């Protein structure tokens, strides 16, 4: 299907927006009126630019406050509309979006609104254009797509149809199934946007918090499937009003936007015909293959891994890279091309059933490919770059052959650390939504919930956990306040262990410093959970934190930070599935000290 984007989604001038939409691969744009009004380009120059860029101009929008008014106002509105139809003729645009009246409507009558839209349709027909009537969620009288369709049906004019916008329908909780009752050729336009679940007035929600499909909490694949079943075959167009996207790099946002449409089309296709989507179907990962830490000098991390019970598994035969393992946890330390960099999380390998298909899927979703030099005899790895720059590798099954490229290991690992439990990735604030979509579309992970917000010592930390269906892969994404972006509290690898307290005792005996936890934390914990004194003293003496809920128990402890990374030891009992969220503010404050 044709893919389109409203200019309002993107930052910069109209010319910047058109270039970015074209470069990303969109077929067309919705011309948002204020972008044209503020442009120095004449309508004819816009047409010429669009032709050069291979973009169609699919919609002119919005035309406001037309219907439900008295006769005098209507005459004025028709004059206003006709001026815009003449402009549309200059632009070669054949469809205008008319939003339901939010301000000047005085008559609450389907028949009156239908008569007035029919008169508009007659004028539109004289100019060879059509009008697409959209029920805004905050319309004065028309705020439901079923009512806008009733009015259009009553207007009964070939140049009058509806515009469906997923935000206005899903934000109000209106059932999208009734879309299938609308004849496809009367759906003149389709606008797609997702949004996080927020309890606030719907206008502010719409104007500031829309996100691209796959990033919020609406079910866009099911929504689009209804529209396609109705027989709609016009463009799929994104209309996302979002404060962040308005101020971030336009070219990057355009690619990010197109990725959401490619993903959405694929998902809806699967709903419609059972299985065959557009993208190589890739099962979500079943585990972590490895986590890579990069630094100019990784020796401090090596010491820490030894204290945590990891064994040195060997050095890579051709690169300055070493492998450390304990159970199924594999940590790769990389000093290649790492001059002047402190220890940081540089790559995550995921175990997938079909690494090649996963790599192809990622490329079709426009994930930037990572090129790492591999030699003829080595296993070629499929890798792409996540929005925050972390390299994502696809390996397996069941564990990757690349491990055999490491030689000269010594020692045997301890038995306490058994696997990587989760990896926390710090996201610059402007990348957060894009990262959610990236891990949803490229890896097939799902957001566990709408996310949480924690008060950190230097600002709010937003957190959302992306995980695989069986939770064998968990990736909490944290938006850290700008002051903390390069700071210690950003990234960490949580290691699953069979007994956190034993692992901490062992690590302490080997000389590891565990992050100190204040006595106030243990006072609060004891008060909240009614811990007995002996248990509390044991936790406190070790610096082990604790959480308990209806599902089970969580024991965890943090190492000191090296460069930008630290490790967490975690023990889950009885299926506890959280992350000890109440611990994070205490941890961040301790790290700051
Ligand atoms: O917020 C608005 O005014 C507005 C304008 C045009 C649209 O298509 C829309 O969905 C919202
Ligand atoms: Mg809209």
DSSP 256-277: HHHHHHHHHHHHHHHHHHTT--
451 pLDDT tier (thresholds 50, 70, 90): confident
**Of all atoms in ligand 1, which is nearest to the CA of residue 32?**
6
CA of 189 to the centre of ligand 2 (A): 10
Task: Determine the structural domain holding residue 425 and report its residue range.
Answer: 287-592
Tokens of 353: 């059933």
Total number of domains in the chain: 2
- Nearest bound ligand to the CA of residue 62: 1
**Residue 149 falls within a domain, yes or no?**
yes
State the average pLDDT over residues 145-167: 98
**Of all atoms in ligand 1, which is nearest to the CA of residue 102?**
3
CA of 135 to the centre of ligand 1 (A): 9
- Please state, for a pLDDT cut of 90, what percent of the chain lies above it: 82
- What integer pLDDT is reported at residue 491 of this predicted model? 87
- What integer pLDDT is reported at residue 580 of this predicted model? 85
CATH number for the domain that contains residue 397: 3.10.180.10
Q: Are residues 291 and 237 in the same domain?
A: no
Judge whether residue 573 has pLDDT over 90. Answer: yes
Last residue of one domain, picked from the residues 249, 273, 297: 273
Residues with CB under 5 A from ligand 2 (ion): 165, 191, 239
CATH number for the domain that contains residue 71: 3.20.20.150
State the average pLDDT over residues 366-393: 83
- Pocket test residue of 60, 203, 241 for ligand 1, highest count of atoms within 8 A of CB: 241
- What integer pLDDT is reported at residue 487 of this predicted model? 62
CA of 357 to the centre of ligand 1 (A): 39
Residue of 192, 213, 238 lying closest to 441 (CA atoms): 213
**Of all atoms in ligand 1, which is nearest to the CA of residue 207?**
1
**Residue 484 falls within a domain, yes or no?**
yes
Tokens of 160: 């009058």
Residue of 20, 26, 92, 25 lying closest to 57 (CA atoms): 92
**Residue 280 falls within a domain, yes or no?**
no
- For residue 186, whether the previous peptide bond is cis, meaning omega lies within 30 degrees of 0, is no
- What integer pLDDT is reported at residue 264 of this predicted model? 98
Last residue of one domain, picked from the residues 226, 247, 273: 273
- Pocket test residue of 62, 97, 103, 242 for ligand 1, highest count of atoms within 8 A of CB: 62
- Nearest bound ligand to the CA of residue 138: 1
CA of 220 to the centre of ligand 1 (A): 18
422 is in an annotated binding site: yes
- Nearest bound ligand to the CA of residue 31: 1
Q: Are residues 79 and 203 in the same domain?
A: yes
Q: Report DSSP state, residue 285.
A: P
Q: Which of 19-33, 265-279, 304-318 has the lowest mean pLDDT?
A: 265-279
**Residue 254 falls within a domain, yes or no?**
yes
State the average pLDDT over residues 268-274: 92
- Torsion of Cα atoms, 378 then 379 then 385 then 388, to 10°: -80
Q: Are residues 106 and 145 in the same domain?
A: yes
562 contacts 304 by C-beta, under 8 angstroms: yes
Residue listed under structure tokens 């306490």: 416
472 is in an annotated binding site: no
- Angstrom CA distances, 356 to 351, 377, 383, stand at 12, 18, 10
Q: Are residues 303 and 219 in the same domain?
A: no
554 contacts 573 by C-beta, under 8 angstroms: yes
Judge whether residue 379 has pLDDT over 80. Answer: no
Q: Are residues 269 and 291 in the same domain?
A: no
- Angstrom CA distances, 504 to 492, 555, 570, stand at 17, 11, 10
Helix ranges, 392-544 (H): 432-441, 500-509, 519-529, 533-542
- Angstrom CA distances, 75 to 79, 120, 135, 406, 590, stand at 6, 10, 22, 80, 68
Tokens of 202: 């719907």
Residue 553's contacts (CB-CB under 8 Å, 6 or more residues apart) are 546, 547, 571, 572, 573, 574, 576
Task: With residue 80 as reference, give the H or E element that holds it.
Answer: helix 71-91
DSSP lists the bridge partners of residue 4 as 28, 237
- What integer pLDDT is reported at residue 519 of this predicted model? 96
Q: Are residues 53 and 130 in the same domain?
A: yes
**Residue 278 falls within a domain, yes or no?**
no
**Of all atoms in ligand 1, which is nearest to the CA of residue 165?**
10
Shortest-distance Cα residue to atom 2 of ligand 1: 207
CA of 33 to the centre of ligand 1 (A): 11
Judge whether residue 323 has pLDDT over 80. Answer: yes
Tokens of 533: 């004194």
Q: Are residues 266 and 342 in the same domain?
A: no
Model ipTM value? 0.99
Residues 189-206: pLDDT tens digits?
999 999 999 999 999 999
127 contacts 92 by C-beta, under 8 angstroms: no
**Of all atoms in ligand 1, which is nearest to the CA of residue 167?**
10
Judge whether residue 397 has pLDDT over 80. Answer: no
Q: Are residues 262 and 390 in the same domain?
A: no
Residue of 174, 107, 110 lying closest to 136 (CA atoms): 174
CA of 45 to the centre of ligand 2 (A): 26
- What integer pLDDT is reported at residue 250 of this predicted model? 97
Residues 498-537: pLDDT tens digits?
999 999 999 999 999 999 999 999 999 999 999 999 999 9
Residue 48's contacts (CB-CB under 8 Å, 6 or more residues apart) are none
Q: Are residues 204 and 304 in the same domain?
A: no
CA of 166 to the centre of ligand 2 (A): 8
DSSP lists the bridge partners of residue 61 as 32
Judge whether residue 489 has pLDDT over 60. Answer: no
Q: How many CA atoms lie within 13 A of 561 on its CB side?
A: 19
Question: pTM value?
Answer: 0.94
**Residue 251 falls within a domain, yes or no?**
yes
Tokens of 294: 């990069």
375 pLDDT tier (thresholds 50, 70, 90): low
CA of 189 to the centre of ligand 1 (A): 13
- Angstrom CA distances, 108 to 67, 74, 113, 267, 362, stand at 10, 15, 8, 39, 50
**Of all atoms in ligand 1, which is nearest to the CA of residue 97?**
8
Shortest-distance Cα residue to atom 1 of ligand 1: 207
Tokens of 249: 């790099």
Q: Are residues 294 and 222 in the same domain?
A: no
Shortest-distance Cα residue to atom 11 of ligand 1: 136
Q: Are residues 340 and 391 in the same domain?
A: yes
**Residue 224 falls within a domain, yes or no?**
yes
Q: Which of 9-18, 226-235, 274-283 has the lowest mean pLDDT?
A: 274-283
**Residue 279 falls within a domain, yes or no?**
no
CA of 40 to the centre of ligand 2 (A): 25
Q: Can you state the angle between helices 14-24 and 43-53, rounded to 10 degrees? A: 20
Q: Are residues 297 and 429 in the same domain?
A: yes
Expressed in angstroms, the distance from the first to the final Cα of the chain is 55
Q: Which residues line ligand 1 (CB under 6 A)?
A: 61-62, 97, 99, 134, 136, 165, 191, 206-207, 239
Q: Characterize the bridge pairing of strands 56-63 and 95-99.
A: parallel
Q: How far apart are CA 508 and CA 429, in angstroms?
A: 36
492 is in an annotated binding site: yes
Mean pLDDT, the chain, as a whole number?
94
Shortest-distance Cα residue to atom 7 of ligand 1: 62
226 is in an annotated binding site: no
Look at residue 391 and give its three-state secondary structure: strand
Report the b/e string of 128-162 with b at 16+ CB within 10 A: ebbbbbbbbbbbbbbbbbebbbbbbbbbebebbbb
292 is in an annotated binding site: no
């Amino acid at each position: 299907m044709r893919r389109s984007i409203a200019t309002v989604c993107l930052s910069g001038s109209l010319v910047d927006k058109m270039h970015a939409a074209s470069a990303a691969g969109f077929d067309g744009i919705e011309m948002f009126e204020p972008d044209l009004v503020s442009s120095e380009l004449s309508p004819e120059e816009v047409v010429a630019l669009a032709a050069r860029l291979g973009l169609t101009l699919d919609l002119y929008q919005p035309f406001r406050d037309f219907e439900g008014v008295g006769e005098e106002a209507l005459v004025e509105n028709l004059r206003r509309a006709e001026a815009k139809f003449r402009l549309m003729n200059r632009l070669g645009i054949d469809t205008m979006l008319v939003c339901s009246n939010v301000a000047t409507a005085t008559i609450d009558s389907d028949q009156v609104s239908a008569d007035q839209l029919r008169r508009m349709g007659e004028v539109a027909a004289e100019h060879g254009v059509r009008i697409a009537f959209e029920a805004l969620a905050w319309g004065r009288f028309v705020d439901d797509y079923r009512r806008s369709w009733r009015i259009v049906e009553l207007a009964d004019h070939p140049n009058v149809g509806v515009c469906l916008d997923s935000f206005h329908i899903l934000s109000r909780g209106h059932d999208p199934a009734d879309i299938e009752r609308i004849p496809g050729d009367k759906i003149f336009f389709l606008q797609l946007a997702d949004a996080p679940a927020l309890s606030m007035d719907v206008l502010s929600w719409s104007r500031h918090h829309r996100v691209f499909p796959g990033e919020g909490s609406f079910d866009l694949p099911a929504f689009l499937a209804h529209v396609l079943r109705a027989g709609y075959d016009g463009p799929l167009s994104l209309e996302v009003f979002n404060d962040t996207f308005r101020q971030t790099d336009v070219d990057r946002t355009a690619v990010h936007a197109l990725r959401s449409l490619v993903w959405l089309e694929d998902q809806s296709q699967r709903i419609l015909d059972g299985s065959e989507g557009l993208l190589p179907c890739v099962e979500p990962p079943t585990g972590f293959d490895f986590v890579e830490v990069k630094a100019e000098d990784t020796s401090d991390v090596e010491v820490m891994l030894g204290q945590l019970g990891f064994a040195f598994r060997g050095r890579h035969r051709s690169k300055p890279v070493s492998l450390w393992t304990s159970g199924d946890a594999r940590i790769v330390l990389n000093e290649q091309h790492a001059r002047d960099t402190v220890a940081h999380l540089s790559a995550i390998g995921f175990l997938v059933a079909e690494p090649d298909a996963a790599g192809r899927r990622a490329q079709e979703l426009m994930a930037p490919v990572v090129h790492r030099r591999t030699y003829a005899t080595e296993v070629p790895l499929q890798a792409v770059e996540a929005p925050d720059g972390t390299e994502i590798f696809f390996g397996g099954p069941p564990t990757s052959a690349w491990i055999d490229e490491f030689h000269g290991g010594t020692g045997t690992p301890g038995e306490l650390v058994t696997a990587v439990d989760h990896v926390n990735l710090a996201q610059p604030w402007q990348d957060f939504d894009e990262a959610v979509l990236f891990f949803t579309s490229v890896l097939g992970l799902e957001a566990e919930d709408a996310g949480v917000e924690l008060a950190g010592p230097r600002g709010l930390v937003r957190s959302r956990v992306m995980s695989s269906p069986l939770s064998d892969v968990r990736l909490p994404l944290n938006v850290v306040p700008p002051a903390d972006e390069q700071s210690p509290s950003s990234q960490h690898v949580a290691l699953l262990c069979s007994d956190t307290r034993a692992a901490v005792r062992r690590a302490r005996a080997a000389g590891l410093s565990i992050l100190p936890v204040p006595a106030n934390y243990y006072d609060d914990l004891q008060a909240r959970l009614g811990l007995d004194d002996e248990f509390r003293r044991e936790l406190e003496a070790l610096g082990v934190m604790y959480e308990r809920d209806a599902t089970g128990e969580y024991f965890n402890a943090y190492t000191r930070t090296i460069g930008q990374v630290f490790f967490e030891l975690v023990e889950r009992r009885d299926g506890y599935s959280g992350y000890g969220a109440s611990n994070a503010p205490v941890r961040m404050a301790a790290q700051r000290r």
